[in-house]
Amino acid sequence: MRRRKFITLIGGAAAWPLAARAQRPAMPAVGYLYVGSPETGANQLAGFRKGLGEAGFVEGRNIAIEFRFAHNEPAHLPELAADLVRRRVAVIAAIGVAPAIAAKAATTTIPVVIGIGGDPVEAGLVASLNRPGGNITGVSFMGEELGSKQLGFLHEMAPRAARFGVLLNPTTRSDTRRIAELQAAAAAIGGQIEVRTATTIDELDAAFVSLVDKGADALLVGTDGFFANRRVQFATLATHHRLPAIYPQREFPEIGGMMSYGANIPDQVRQAGLYAGRIVKGANPADLPVMQPTKFEFVINLHTVKTLGLSVPPGLLAIADEVIE
């Protein structure tokens, strides 16, 4: 009897640490939903990790990140979002309009932190910027509200341009207001706009061909995750068709686009990471106001300007935040 009792006690002692480990709380997980690939979204992801770090979380140490990349196939986003819901992540970070819409459709209970261009109220994602309500908050890059300024820069760089091509994502609800704003801005300088939309690689190629056929003299590219992930294609097509173009973020001129004006996207995604960390700690997304940028960057790629046979006006050089040689 004593021997059996001793074996039982030893077995219990050996099993106790295993049981204790089994009862230890699992590491919280944050979902990261992105329309592109890890390579094309590396800068944004670095910003997101930085924001998590500011909230006290380090991937692999006290938090896990469940990555879901659509690899430029937006049709896959709803299933990727649904998978994150099935995984019961603590919060979903949806970077881009299409991921944000997919995350909203997938859950009304798991907190969602968005990072999008344009107005999330008009996109139907939140009730208001100051009091989002529901389970969604995040960051608006305000890219859709900078069209008039971008068009002005484009006209200064290409003063002979009269017909401005505009490329937008047709799923963005604020397009109607944006188009009206651009039409008014173009009319003020004696020009007009020609709008095209694209959500796939083939549509993007076709949009460029159509704009050239319609006599577009210059191009303004809207804010969209799919566009950002095809920035090499944009720079190549614009140079091939000899279209001076302005883009919504610095990543475009960094790889050969002519110029950009907009928020620093990696820094904005950093704020989304900070919000995600605060929510993991217990903050209510309904009480976190949607953040907006306070500073915008103007970047010029001088080599591309010269390749297109243009020269940078002194006034633009004076106000540029960076000139890439």
User: Mean pLDDT over residues 90-96, rounded?
Assistant: 96
Which pLDDT tens digit goes with each residue over 208-245?
999 999 999 999 998 877 888 889 999 999 999 999 99
Between 21-30, 61-70, 112-121, 196-205, the lowest mean confidence (pLDDT) is in 21-30
Q: What is the per-residue pLDDT for 143?
A: 63
N-to-C CA span, the chain: 86
CA dist 143 and 115 (Å) reads 11
| Longest CA–CA separation in the chain, Å | 101
User: What is the model's pLDDT at position 25?
Assistant: 55
Average pLDDT, the chain: 89
pTM for this structure?
A: 0.81
- Tell how strand 163-168 and strand 192-197 pair up: parallel
Res 201: pLDDT:
86
How many CB atoms sit inside 10 A of residue 319's CB?
A: 9
Structural domains present in the chain: 29-142+264-287 (3.40.50.2300), 144-262+297-324 (3.40.50.2300)
Identify any residues that bridge with 34 across adjacent strands, giving them in sequence order.
69, 95
pLDDT in tens, 305-320: 999 999 999 999 999 9
Question: Quick check: 297 pLDDT over 90?
Answer: yes
Mean pLDDT to the nearest integer, 149-159:
95
